[in-house]
Amino acid sequence: MKKQTPTLRDIARETGVHVSTVSRALNPVTGTSITDDVVKRIKEAADRLGYRPNRLAVGLRTNRTMTVGLMIPDITNTIFPPILRGVESVLEPLGYAVIIVNTDSMAAREHQLVDVLRERGVDGIIHAAVLRDDPKIIEVVRGGTPVVTVNRRIEGEGIPSVVNDDALGVRLVLGHLYDEGHRRIAHVAGPANLSTGQFRRKAFKSAATEMGLKLPAKAIQQAKRFDEAEGRRCTEALLDSWNPTAILCANDRLALGALEVLEERGIECPGEISVTGFNDMPFLDRIRPGLTTVRIEQFGVGQESARLLVRMMTEPETTAPSETILPVRLIKRGSVAPPPAE
Amino acid sequence: MKKQTPTLRDIARETGVHVSTVSRALNPVTGTSITDDVVKRIKEAADRLGYRPNRLAVGLRTNRTMTVGLMIPDITNTIFPPILRGVESVLEPLGYAVIIVNTDSMAAREHQLVDVLRERGVDGIIHAAVLRDDPKIIEVVRGGTPVVTVNRRIEGEGIPSVVNDDALGVRLVLGHLYDEGHRRIAHVAGPANLSTGQFRRKAFKSAATEMGLKLPAKAIQQAKRFDEAEGRRCTEALLDSWNPTAILCANDRLALGALEVLEERGIECPGEISVTGFNDMPFLDRIRPGLTTVRIEQFGVGQESARLLVRMMTEPETTAPSETILPVRLIKRGSVAPPPAE
DNA sequence: TTGTATGCGTTATCAT
DNA sequence: ATGATAACGCATACAA
């Protein structure tokens, strides 16, 4: 009942040649040195039997598994599925399979999952959940495994990264708010242990300073996580200690939390306070008010990181670009309007 | 620079015993027949060297890869990420890795991806993208690979499935609409080639008939895909040929398409026409009007299917329940109200 | 309790 | 151009 999957041996028996001949015939590179007729017979037998190479055996022998690991914080966060599709779109046609792991942004889990990937001999890792201080992944890199970080980066280790143009994005929203007349602009910053959080905060400070905005310490509230609850907490702290006319949030989820607080307190958005996000998650156009935000190329980021990794895996001698920056766009929706007259 | 990952041989050399002894010592089952002291020395050496078993080698030898395939239509569809997390939550602690593939609901792609999974020797497959007629997967099952289908099912093949209580869900919304006073209730049905589409349509018809509702042929419009565009198309067809006071959609995305059409045509929802969905995707509570829908246990479905698959993989002799039905709940939001007085 | 030998399916190195 | 053989890392039947 349970039919065994055919192996090279089965084809060899069928065609009356040796296993190694079959192996060569089926490999496009070595197949050239085999008589055309024999190759034809072998290939014919191969698909008659429905032969599929056993990747485990290949991997064990060649030390290449054609598998890559994708580490993300949490696939239920809507910005990651498109990244995965982008990654797959380049990897799958090349014959790579992807093993996905969710770290939940916890260092301990991440370390454990790195080992899971290593046990499986992944040829490379796309890391979209890297922490700013991440000794484990540095160890992996030093061990010779190609790694590229996505969205975030580790400084000073020369690990290639594919990121969005955070600085530009912050400037775009900030400029937009300024143009609308805002002068007291607050920032709900992302977590300090993530490079995106830190980068956007820095970009905010320098751009705001350039524009000549006043920036009291209270103008920047630091979230501990990129989620709605922290967005709420920071917004409440903000409203209780300052009187901004606009809140620039480090990502959309923080902004959603901000909107909730404003609504609860009966503060009109955008009438009294404008709010902006970052990432352009799905559905932001359907909520009310639509959230003005920065669109990042999620699918593109996935593609780029995969292309980069493939290059690192297949041409280890060439040096990969240490930083690939993808463009971003400002998406204007309903959550920004001129500040109320004072 | 590139340090080799340690193998059993390295540990054997370190401890002065034979490889097979190391193998046994590290295996909890066979480890009992090894002197405690030796076991201790071996384990100590193992983690001093940072030993991790090579899963490829293990898999090749034991014919168990501790890998399962998860086939879904598209991870960017928001109902699937929670399912994945549910699956992982049971599989990962047991040492399984998950390979995810997106079929985009295309038969050709699905067939190809099934082969990808087979090449990798997955121990089982969780199939959330199965088509009603799916010879390829039936072949896999006959070949002896454990498969469970999720959300959908194949009839008559005895492939265990984990599904939501579609019939109950339809009854709940339909009953709710009825109670609110609706009598001309239309249905935007899902694709005929998916079991969920067919099931919900059947449930709609029988429940509507029981309630004594009139059901002209035009009351049911059949979508070709579960997406917003098809929701729009069907809703337009509906409005052009009938005058329903409520539209019960086979899933949320169809309902979102319906809402768009109503808004474009200046028809009030829920004032003039009520709309309902199915699945309870994220964000439905933030749009306007909030969509009344049926909540399915996405995470739970993932968990159950994984548990079921584990059982099939590890206890092939026991017969698995052919159908596991998970409960659903009606979620009332703003998109349903009594019909306008006539 | 431990060592020896073999094989999982494949590729690569030697022969022929 | 093809065959024979070893080896990848591990588990296991068999010996001792």
**Alpha-carbon span B257 to B252, nearest angstrom:** 9
pLDDT tens-digit map of A45-81: 999 999 999 999 999 999 999 999 999 999 999 999 9
Among all protein residues, pick the one whose CA is nearest to the C1' atom of C5. B20
Confidence class of residue B132 from pLDDT cuts 50, 70 and 90? confident
Put simply, whether B61 touches A (Cβ < 8 Å) is no
- CB atoms inside a 10 Å sphere around CB B290: 16
For the CA of A61 and the C1' of C4, the distance in angstroms is: 24
What are the two backbone dihedrals, phi and then psi, of residue A204, each rounded to the nearest 5 degrees?
-60, -50
Whether A338 contacts A175, CB under 8 Å: no
Residues of B in contact with A52 (CB under 8 A): 115, 118-119
List strands edge to edge, sheet with A246-249: A220-222, A185-189, A246-249, A274-276
Task: Work out the burial of residue B224: count CB atoms within 10 Å of its CB; fewer than 13 is exposed, 13-18 middle, 19 or more buried.
Answer: middle
- In angstroms, the CA B301 to CA B327 distance is 10
Token representation of residue A57: 């055996």
Structure confidence by residue, pLDDT tens digits, B227-249:
999 999 999 999 999 999 999 99
Q: What CATH homologous superfamily does A166-296 map to?
A: Response regulator (3.40.50.2300)
pLDDT one-digit tens code per residue, A191-232: 998 989 999 999 999 999 999 999 999 999 999 999 999 999
In the 61-80 segment of chain B, residues within 7 Å (Cβ) of strand C are 61
Tens of pLDDT, residues B161-170? 999 999 999 9
Residue B2: what pLDDT?
A: 47
Q: Mean pLDDT for chain B?
A: 95
Nucleotide nearest to A22 (CA to C1'): D2
d(CA B125, CA B117): 8
Domain coordinates in residue numbering, chain A: 8-53, 65-163+298-326, 166-296
The label of the residue with tokens 């809703």 reads B235
For A236, A249, A251, A339, the CA distances from A264, given in Å and listed in that order, are: 11, 18, 20, 20
pLDDT tens digits along A277-293:
999 998 999 998 999 99
Torsion of CA B127, B130, B132, B138, to 10 degrees: -60
Fold that domain B8-53 belongs to in CATH: 434 Repressor (Amino-terminal Domain) (1.10.260)
**Nucleotide nearest the Cα atom of B51 (by C1'):** D9
Q: What is the pLDDT of residue A31?
A: 86
Nearest nucleotide to A119 (CA to C1') is D9
- Fold classification of A65-163+298-326 is Rossmann fold (3.40.50)
Q: Choose among A281, A271, A269, A285: nearest CA to A332.
A: A285
Query: Where are the alpha helices (H) located in chain A, listed in sequence order?
Result: 8-15, 19-26, 36-49, 55-62, 80-91, 107-119, 135-142, 166-179, 195-210, 228-241, 252-264, 298-314
Residue A22: CA count within 13 A, CB half-sphere: 24
Element (H, E) at B159: none
Per cent of chain A over pLDDT 90 is 89
Averaged pLDDT, A113-130: 96
Q: Which residues of A touch B47 (CB under 8 A)?
A: none
pTM, entire model:
0.94
**Predicted local distance difference test score (pLDDT) of residue A1:** 40
Q: Among candidates A240, A275, A285, A283, which has minimal Cα distance to A254? A: A275
Which of A244, A283, A235, A248 is closest to A176 using CA atoms?
A: A248
The β-bridge relationship of strands B293-295 and B329-331 is antiparallel
Asked if residue A333 lies in contact with residue A144, where contact means CB atoms within 8 angstroms, the answer is no
Joined tokens for residue B287: 């749009």
pLDDT of residue A3: 57
Whether B57 and chain A come into contact, CB under 8 Å, resolves to yes
Distance from CA(A18) to C1'(C15), angstroms, rounded: 15
* Domains A8-53 and A166-296 alike in fold: no
Read off the pLDDT of residues B158-194 as tens digits, 9 standing for 90 and up. 899 999 999 999 999 999 999 999 999 999 999 998 9
The partner residue sitting opposite A55, judged by closest CB among B1, B53, B120, is: B120
**Dihedral of CA B35/B37/B38/B42: which sign?**
positive
Interval B39-58 mean pLDDT: 95
Residue B138 CB closer than 7 angstroms to strand C?
A: no
Render pLDDT for A122-131 as a digit per residue (tens, 0 to 9).
Answer: 999 999 999 8
